[in-house]
A and B are shown apart, each in its own frame.
Chain A
Amino acid sequence: MSKKVAIVSVAQSAGAESKDNFYDQAYRVTRECLDKVGLSRDDLGTIVSASSDIFHGGISCANAYYWETTGAFLKNASRQDGESLFAFMYGVMRILSGQYDTCLVIALCKGSENPDNDACTLMFGDPFYHRNLGLTETTAAALQMRAYMEKYGITKEQCAQVAVKNLGNALRNPFAHRRGKYSVEDVLGSAVTAHPLTELQVAPKSEGFVAMLLASEKKARKLTARPVWFKGYGSSLDTYFLGDRDLLKTELRNAAVRAYKMAGIKDPKKDIGVAEITEPYAFQELLWCEELGFCKPGGGGKMIEKGITKIGGALPVNPSGGVLANNPYVSRGLQRLVEGYLQIRGEAGEHQVDKKVKTALAHGTHGYAGQCHAVAIIGV
């Protein structure tokens, strides 16, 4: 039995708010993903979706609502709550089981229908302690940012550079929600949210219907001339109490180690061609780069200053604009993977990186100050 799974097709919707109906949008993205390789709904083996009822228009049991839009009528399908990269991995598992030769992985999150992100992230907290202190992902990130800057001497300018880079990259991404040519001063001068975070350093609330078709090796070769292969995956979960954690040593390290081991990656800086990282707070891109082993701990600031992570750099990070440009909360992880796939296939249009990409890394994170991480590696 083959141990290989490939991505053969992807589709995504624009991140900007739309007055379109959730149900219809989901159908169209599924349709597009299947049509690209001429796969009919009848031939589709299984489906794994990602959504989260708190980010779901006040409609609970999320996948009940959109079940048939993903082609799942009278099929065996399932759902991951929260992190769409979990759904990707579950899809990989279903194919590796040998029971299905195709799997649609689809993430659904319509920002325009939901309250502000932090009205929702407040709900991750226990109702007795963290919630009463108003802990949200933003206030937790602010705590983490201050600790990060103070420990390593990372400057606020270095953090702002992430926003400058990503929002600038987004000008070349037709699906991005927020984009623009900003200076470091613009970013630092934008409205303060939770100090030291400013508005342009905090991700927006976007729409994201993101679909990806997986296939077994045999089927993949029938569906496309250029499959992109699953190489590795790792996830990890940190302890719940914020005060129990070292906010500068997150479980991203473990998630990355697991993914690298599976993918046979020895030196991430060299072995990875492009990285799409989830950075809902600008400084986190620097911290996550360190935890992914792209540079040493505390080296994130220098790394961005040297231009290593810009679109023409040695290790481009978030050529799509990342989550600062487009933040459909649940779908953002899978969207990173879609972007990685496009880069490998040379189909990223105007935000295609210059060098030839053979291996891409996609990262997703949720929870206070990155309590939970997932890393996926794909390549040719």
Chain B
Amino acid sequence: MGRPVGIIGVGQTHHGRRRDVSYPELVREAVLRAFEDSGLDPSDIDGVVSGTMPSMMEGVALTHFYFADAMQGVGKQIMKTETCGSTGVSIAHTAYYWVTSGMADVVLAVGHEKMNEGDAQATMTTVAEPFYQRYFIAGAPGVFSMQSQMWADRYGIPEEKIRDAAAYISVQHHNAAFDNPYAHVKIRVTPEDVKNARVITYPVRLLDVCPTSDGACAVIFASRDKVKKFGRKAAWVRGVGYRGEEYFFGDSDKGLWQSAAQSAKQAYDQAGIKNPRKELDVAEVYNPFTFQEMLFYECFGFCEPGGAPDLVLKGTFDRGGELPCDPSGGVLCTNPIGATGLIRVAETVLQVTEKAGDRQIPGAKTGFSHAMGGVDQFNGVMIVGSRL
């Protein structure tokens, strides 16, 4: 492995419907907060890596040009990483490799999205080529609905139990969002509200899915020497993992999701983690859909395949449970897609450096963050710890 890499500052915007700022101003809000948090100056930065969803989303292409100033990237080395929904974690990986390879000492990673300025569903539909798949991929909800069916069928999980567990998750995360000053959706819901909400594509209902959020996140990565020099408390990158499957949605079994399982395994191997549920203190899982979240718990080895609904209902993944998942409220309450994966990383950093405020998991030392992209195609993971 290369040089140790620390994370010494994070910043994020107040996510939501941000008609009060222009897109570059939104980006700048997160970047300023990262500098504030780290105590660093733009002159301390060697390079910037940014990324977002495709240009159709906001109607601007190669956004690193437009945001050069907002990101304080003028005169800096620049990288632009984009992998659909997993962009946020891929950006974090780029910054990590940049520092661990010795090619930079301090890198600013920035993920951003202002989805309310465009047509998110249409943009996501264009991921599918127009010869064949585009007709049938009913945006994200349709794909995830089919996946949850495949999962339920495979393990013979009764529909009622899944619905109860999904509703439980929805309630947990919506409550958690109240302790997160940056979260977008802050509403109180009951399990009945969730189970009876409007159907989007069966079985997915309105309160099972993420909102359309505007937001940005900035994270500063640094070499060990720089961490020492700046005298900041750092979170340390202990493992990274990423995998992608075929483009054609029907080619790989999404109920037994190899890219999710293998990306986590790559990160666990690097971090020396053998028993995730025991050794992780907190997880920020990419969860735009409650049903899919349970499948992720299983793929990441938090429980046995098919076993997630039972453990959810037992409270295993609650804030006070054995492995708190998404104490930030997760993607379910906040989803500015280009930033979302990076927000997951930022939230685990806050947790292991004890700066997570009201959503702090006491004693958190090892955090797992994750993002998914494409039509159930990519999965990326980063594990951070309070110690190397």
Contacts and interface: CB of A to CB of B under 8 A. Distances in A.
A11 B103 CA distance: 27
A319 interface: no
A152 interface: no
B266 interface: yes
Nearest to B52: A81
Contacts of A79: 81-83, 90
Contacts of A72: 244
Contacts, number: 200
Interface stretch (B70-78, B168-176, B311-319): B70-78
Given A64-B377, A96-B101, A237-B74, A74 B62 contact: no
B2 A73 contact: no
B247 A67 contact: yes
Contacts of A322: none
B100 A82 contact: no
Contacts of B304: none
A112 to B, nearest CB: 16
Contacts of A76: 241-243, 263, 266
Contacts of A241: 69
A207 interface: no
A64 B84 contact: yes
Interface of A: 1, 3, 52-54, 57-68, 72-83, 86, 89-90, 92-94, 96-99, 120, 123-128, 233-241, 251, 254, 258, 366-368, 371-372
A68 B212 CA distance: 30
A373 to B, nearest CB: 9
Interface string B5-27: 00000000000000000101000
B266 A367 contact: no
A78 B93 contact: yes
B75 A254 contact: yes
8 contacts: A63-B82, A66-B247, A67-B245, A76-B241, A78-B90, A80-B82, A127-B60, A366-B62
A74 B74 contact: no
Interface string B85-113: 00000100110011011110000000000
B55 A123 contact: yes
Nearest to A120: B61
A67 B127 CA distance: 12
Given A64-B377, A78-B90, A371-B68, A53 B55 contact: yes
A62 to B, nearest CB: 8
